[in-house]
Amino acid sequence: MTDASASLPPEATHHLDASGLVCPEPVMLLHNRVRDMASGEVLEVLATDPSTQRDIPKFCQFLGHTLLHEHEEPAESGPLFRYWIRRK
């Protein structure tokens, strides 16, 4: 038996909608938003730029934040990427 909650994303305390923006804007906005958060808080990021699949994990790794969960879902205008990041 598996725990279904293990695959569910964490509850976010902050949200950032970077839909429609292209590199480098999503990561720039992410960086600014994370600065305003307290340690341990979780940010949910929405993006449509496929480069975020590479850029956001590298951003987290470089700055020491934790990428808790990522998810891609279909949308009318193309894929929507969701990320949950815990600030260090």
Residues that are catalytic = 23
b/e string for 39-54 if b means 16 or more Cβ within 10 A? Answer: eeebbbbbbbbeebee
**Cis peptide leading into residue 24 (ω within 30°):** yes
